[in-house]
Structure 1
Amino acid sequence: MPWFPDFVSAAELARRQSLPYEPEDPVTRYLSALSDGSPHALEAAWPGRIVVHDPRAGEVTGHRELRRFVATNQEWLRARHARIETVSSTADGSCAAVELLARLEISGTAVAWPVAVVAEATDRYSLDLRTYCSQVVVDGRRHRRAPLLGPGAVPPDGVVGRYLAGLEAGDVDEVVATFAEDGYLREAVGEPDVHRGEDGLRSFYSRLLGTGDGVALECCHATDDGVRCVVEYNDVSTRGEWPPQAGLAVFERADDGRIAAVRCYDDIERPAAGRPS
């Protein structure tokens, strides 16, 4: 788990944003190795630093670990008859984020699993890959995930900044006002946990923020192409009683400048009953 064949699209987007594209360079050979599943090509294709941050495997570093990780994931996906669809791609500077929907067979049942991958190219030979998802879909459990990144990114301005500020303040009216008329929030587990329109959004955020406590998302990194803003964050709203946890949210803007959609990718739990993530 998950999606190494689909790291290709994220990695290539990051590559093209950050460095001149050369058809025979090591990045291209690396992407080909991922596509055809040849572990022997990996060391030659990517001689520099590559690190994968995976929700289940943790941090995967070095060519030997990487080859083992690729082989294990390909076997896992094949056993579940996985089909992967790309939902969106967002590139900005040296980073690219790709939203994916994996269709799997789990214990004879067809399920759809939302997954997001961020690829950050640090130089010609080095790449960081960070995967975000909820594991509830595949094993019925939430898994606490320690922060992958530290704070430091400037919070996005405009409507995304208003949303985050309203969320932290626990202001239901302000949060709902940031959405377009038919805007929606999709929780990390995907369908059917989608809350659409003013009534649906107000019901959800009233439950989430009903105690008067805000939800503080510490912005770590933002990838923004003007249409979508992808925010990697640490949820620090329960600091002291619940450890900070890593997550990602995609904010898609409507034509009128408000939020058309928020899609979440995390496994975050909160201690207070009735406050879904």
Structure 2
Amino acid sequence: MVWIPQIPDLVDRLGAAELADALRDPATATVPVALDDPEAGRISGVAVLAAWLAVQDTWRAERKAEIEEVATTFGERRAVGEWVVHLEGAEGERVGLPVAAVVDLASALPVRVHHSRLPLLGRHVVRRPMTPPDPSAHVSDVVGAYLAALGAGDTAAVVAAFAPDGSFRGPAADARRYTGTKELTELHDAFFSAGGGIPLTLCTVTEDGTRTAFEYVVDRWGGADLPPQPGLAVCARGSDGLIASARVYDDLEAPVE
């Protein structure tokens, strides 16, 4: 339940001014609008969208939300924005919630929001996939090697894809990064202790030469079957061509501690 008011700006930068205007003020919509949110699910129609955005405005004000921009990855007809929303938690503490949004002008669902609900609810929530797998989707160079190693459960190969000071940030806590060979090795050893790797089925890939953002569906973690559910990750390359940082946005409940 986190709408980022900067999302229409991404739509504008892709050249879809009418859609951007509709997202800012649904009452003025001259084109169909549809988006998918982790809590509300599929939202379409002027009245429904307007009511939901009004609730979002109130919710952000009540939670004293501050939005920190992380990065934006632009493709030809798609953009992926990343933010951390700093807000007031249930006990009054400040919580950092990583949020990503895909703006995809070629899709019937042009706005797709990704974030975990663990920081908000204290639990994961299974979500249905938003976009179908694409057999033609592929990622290039070191990111492809990383995904192959992740699927195979090969810790050494995963870590080899990262720069020596590379980092991994999961979806639930912006403050916790696993940085460097030792921490990345320990993290992925724990991931793969469930009996194998974590294969991801690609749905979309957006690349700008530095960052690769990919949406995926996951239905297996090691030896455990999972309900098919969506996620998004962004890998940024460093000057050496290796992964400098990987950031994940999903709501998977891992079968490991």
Which TM bucket (shorter chain)?
A: over 0.9
Q: Is the 8 A contact 1:10 1:118 kept in 2?
A: no
Q: Is the 8 A contact 1:49 1:127 kept in 2?
A: no
Q: Is the 8 A contact 2:22 2:31 kept in 1?
A: no
Displacement, 1:261? 0.4
2:34 corresponds to 1:51? yes
Match of 1:251, as an amino acid? C
Indicate the RMSD between aligned Cα atoms, in angstroms. Answer: 1.9
Q: Is the 8 A contact 2:96 2:175 kept in 1?
A: no
Q: Which of 103, 118, 122 lines up with 1:136 in the alignment?
A: 118
Q: Which of 134, 142, 149 lines up with 2:131 in the alignment?
A: 149
Q: Which of 226, 229, 237 lines up with 1:242 in the alignment?
A: 226
Deviations 1:85-136 (A, max 9, x none): 111011101111110111111231111111001111239xx86111111111
In the other structure, the counterpart of 2:66 is: 83
Whole-angstrom CA distance in 2 between matches of 1:57 and 1:150? 20
Whole-angstrom CA distance in 2 between matches of 1:28 and 1:243? 33
Aligned-residue sequence identity (percent) comes to 33
Displacement, 1:245? 1.3
Displacement, 1:28? 5.5
Tell me how many residue pairs correspond in the alignment.
254
2:116 corresponds to 1:117? no
Normalised by the length of structure 2, the TM-score is: 0.92
2:233 corresponds to 1:273? no
Segments of structure 1 that go 5 or more residues without pairing to the other structure are 20-24, 35-40
Q: Identify if the C-alpha distance between structure 1 residues 112 and 249 changes in structure 2 by more than 3 Å, giving closer, same or farther.
A: same
In the other structure, the counterpart of 2:163 is: 180
In the other structure, the counterpart of 1:22 is: none
Alignment of 1:1-277 (within 5 A): 1-13=1-13, 15-16=14-15, 26-27=18-19, 29-30=21-22, 34=24, 41-44=25-28, 46-106=29-89, 107-122=91-106, 128-152=110-134, 153-238=136-221, 241-270=225-254, 272-274=255-257
Match of 2:116, as an amino acid? S
Secondary structure of the 2:248 match is strand
Match of 2:5, as an amino acid? P
Normalised by the length of structure 1, the TM-score is: 0.86
Q: Is the 8 A contact 1:170 1:214 kept in 2?
A: yes
Whole-angstrom CA distance in 1 between matches of 2:228 and 2:18? 37
Segments of structure 2 that go 5 or more residues without pairing to the other structure are none
Match of 1:26, as an amino acid? E
